[in-house]
Structure 1
Amino acid sequence: MAAKAVTIAQQKGGAGKTTIAAQLAVAFARGGLRVGLLDIDPQGSLAAWYDIRKALVEEEGGGITFVQASGWRLSTELDRLKRDVDVVLIDSPPHAETEVRIAVRAADLILVPMQPSPMDLWATGPTLDMARKEKSPALMVFNRTPSRGKLVDAVRKKIKDAEVPVAQTVLGNRVAFAASMMEGKGVVESNPRHTATKEIKALAVEIAGILGLD
């Protein structure tokens, strides 16, 4: 089976790209897949999480292969990763640069996280435009979503009116996600029975179904 690449992209900062990349990586790995993580964000937050993980998780990386790359090395490192794993998750910076375009072009799926707010909705435009130009399929996913409120339904309707696919899975505004990151883990490992675990597992299953990884 050829490895699949998922680029997590969103121009607006604070959408939770890095958290989703790490959490999905752990969920996929715990589900039996060989997982690669490619960090192309100069901020290096995913690299910092992985460093903690290597120190605290008994198995080296907990079944996850990590690479940090930028510029001309990006395509080379992505191709190398894809030879050794089943799925590669790419964490991208919050602005449209050459690296992001390469990552979007190479992806089998563009995952676009957003909080259910007008600002986040408007900020998705450049990312979705890039995906269309590169002919890469995109999937919106609600993240840090409040438990109640009509705003979620209103924003979901706006997205559907624009004919952009929206994930059935909604990720809530859960402290458990951040708490697990502090330990170099995913919530699947640190708190298996938490609602956050159910949510990230459901999103992993949904993405696996789209990519034919199930």
Structure 2
Amino acid sequence: MPGRILVVAQQKGGSGKTTLAAHLAVAHAVTRRVAILDVDPQGSLGQWFERRERRLGEGATGLEMRTASGWGAKREARLLAREHDLVLIDMPPRSDLEARNVIEAADLVVVPVQPTPVDLWATEATLELVERGGPPAVLVVNRAPARPIGEAVLAALNALPAPLAATQLVNRVAYGQTMGSGGTVIESFPSSKAAAEVRALAIEVYGMLPELPRRSGTR
């Protein structure tokens, strides 16, 4: 049984795609075989993985890493899914044809959105791509302010043609501190509010995927 493919996509740059992809990958790697695929030409996820590998050692990252572009990204994702329970793909911003091509291979598309009008506009364009690609999508409020989101913005989020995840990721300094060394808040600050939010989001998102096989020898 092949693994599942989860795409993290957002047309607007600076939405926190890479941070979200890295954290979801590490959260799920506790009990699953996880691969990450960097399709963004900026290569931020690949740079994060290289720092992680230097710090932890080759073969000790808990993840497998690949890069791809164009038509090859969909093929690479499907190849990785043969050997892994979950493949997480970090998509480039402002991409149409390439994004749609990869989205076609996905089982679920996670769309991070910051609670601002500009980000909401970009999210509408992203969801249009997802609709043409076919798989379901879920919106994740990312870099949320510590205070509750305003009613107008919340209403606009709920009006978008995709469900809104119940779990929000609050804008916290810890994300930047850990990503720079190839880490995550789950590993560096396991008892923090940030780590609790990531774990809760991981459970929620993975619950939307078809059931995944549990890796032998894990709890």
Q: Which amino acid aligns with 1:5?
A: I
CA distance in 1, matches of 2:111, 2:160: 15
TM-score, normalised relative to structure 1: 0.94
1:32-60 deviations in Å (ceiling 9; x for gaps): 11111000000001110000111111462
Q: Secondary structure at the match of 2:169?
A: coil
State the AA in 1 paired with 2:210.
G
Cα deviation for residue 97 of structure 1 reads 3.2
Aligned partners of 1:145 and 1:17: how far apart in 2? 14
SS of aligned partner of 1:67: strand
TM-score by length of 2: 0.92
Moved more, 193-202 or 159-168: 159-168
Correspondence for 2:176: 178
Following the alignment from structure 1 to structure 2, what is the Cα–Cα distance between the partners of residues 183 and 38?
19
Give the conservation status (yes or no) of the 8 Å contact 2:4–2:86: yes
Structure 2 CA distance for partners of 1:150 and 1:211, relative to 1, 3 Å: closer
Give the superposition deviation at 1:149: 4.2
Q: Tell me the equivalent position of 1:10.
A: 10
The range that moved more, 66-75 or 192-201, is 66-75
Q: Does the CA contact (< 8 Å) of 1:110 and 1:131 recur in 2?
A: yes
Counterpart in the other structure of 1:161: 159
State how far apart, in whole Å, the 2-side matches of 1:61 and 1:13 are: 31
2:137 maps to 138
CA RMSD, 1 decimal: 1.5
Residue 123 of structure 2 corresponds to residue 128 of structure 1: no
Distance 2:73 2:59 in 1: 23
* Inter-partner Cα distance in structure 2 for 1:48 and 1:201: 23
Contact 1:156 1:166 in 2 (8 A): no
Q: Residues 48-197 of structure 1 correspond to what in structure 2 (within 5 A)?
A: 48-58=47-57, 60-151=59-150, 153-197=151-195
Q: State the aligned residue count.
A: 212
Q: Distance in 2 between matches of 1:150 and 1:94?
A: 25
Distance 1:163 1:179, change over 3 A: same
How many percent of aligned residue pairs carry the same amino acid? Answer: 45
Question: Higher helix share goes to which structure?
Answer: 1
Give me the whole-angstrom Cα distance separating, in 1, the residues matched to 2:113 and 2:19: 12
Offset of residue 163 of structure 1: 4.0
Q: Provide the rounded CA distance (Å) in 1 between the counterparts of 2:188 and 2:90.
A: 22
Q: 1:2 and 1:211 mapped to 2: Cα distance?
A: 13
**What is the deviation of 1:87?**
0.7
